[in-house]
Amino acid sequence: MLTLAAAAAAAALLAPRVPQDPAYHRFVDTRTLLGVPNFWNVLSNLPFLFVGAYGVWVWPRARWEQAADRYAWFVVAGAAFLIGLGSGYYHWRPDNRTLFWDRLPMTLGFMAVFSAVIAERVHARVGWLLLGPFVILGALSVEVWRRGELTGVGDLRYYVLVQFYPMLAIPLMLWLFRSRYTHSNRIWWMVIWYVAAKLLELLDREIWAWTGEAMSGHALKHAAAAVALWMPLRMIADRDPISE
């Protein structure tokens, strides 16, 4: 695990600067409905609000083997709700300024899930202690990009590291370490739905064409990403600590 982390960090540091592609903001579905620009890309963020509210509701009712296990999942639930707000705001008026508010809560969610999996599978105290630093690093990765864009030298390397390294490390931890809770296979489903969301994002225009310009891949990506976040939050609602 440490070797993988060191390799990923070294790759980010040694890679050339990655500026934000202006074409990123040019989504294929730009329809205005009911006075809402980019209607479906905005509306498709509603599931995040429901997932986040659900997570906050089930969080105090969940059963925890250790009290410290609670905190990361509360951050995940809060991040899900904030993703709905931030992504909806961004898609209302897509540009680099609003994109910051889309990406910031996503990094909080990525890093909180990463911390939770470390705590429940690798080492409880280490995972708990890493939550704060991970969340700060996630936020800093987006702030570094934002400040760079303001001066014309935007750099996405650290944001990319924060987004994709956990999605590489989490499956490895799922394979190597046993969970302290039941229903832990739902973390696998989270990863699967996340991969599906990224594929839908990449196929934005193709899906728009395949559906006869009824729905774009990006709007469907939001729905798939919301399901990805719902999986672990439903997991904490259903699971029990495993007795040794």
Q: Look at residue 1 in the predicted model and tell me its pLDDT.
A: 60
Instruction: State which H helix or E strand residue 29 sits in.
Output: none
Flag residues of the chain having pLDDT under 50. Answer: none
Q: Look at residue 110 in the predicted model and tell me its pLDDT.
A: 94
**Class of 39-238 per CATH?**
mainly alpha
Measured CA to CA in angstroms, residue 145 lies from 14, 78, 142 at distances of: 17, 23, 5
Q: Look at residue 152 in the predicted model and tell me its pLDDT.
A: 78
Q: Look at residue 207 in the predicted model and tell me its pLDDT.
A: 97
Question: What is the SS3 assignment for 178?
Answer: coil
Q: Could you tell me the residue ranges of all domains in the chain? A: 39-238
Q: Look at residue 6 in the predicted model and tell me its pLDDT.
A: 63
| 36: β partners | 33
Cut 0.95: pTM above it: no
Q: Look at residue 209 in the predicted model and tell me its pLDDT.
A: 96
Q: Look at residue 67 in the predicted model and tell me its pLDDT.
A: 86
Distance CA 181, CA 61 (A): 15
Tokens of 178: 């046993």
- In order, the DSSP letters of 87-121 are HHHHHHS-SHHHHHHHHHHHHHHHHHHHHHHIIII
Burial (CB count within 10 angstroms: exposed 0-12, middle 13-18, buried 19+), residue 8: middle
Distance CA 116, CA 236 (A): 11
Q: Look at residue 54 in the predicted model and tell me its pLDDT.
A: 98
| 181: β partners | 241
pLDDT digits (tens, 9 = 90+) for 183-198: 999 999 999 999 999 9
Q: Look at residue 17 in the predicted model and tell me its pLDDT.
A: 76
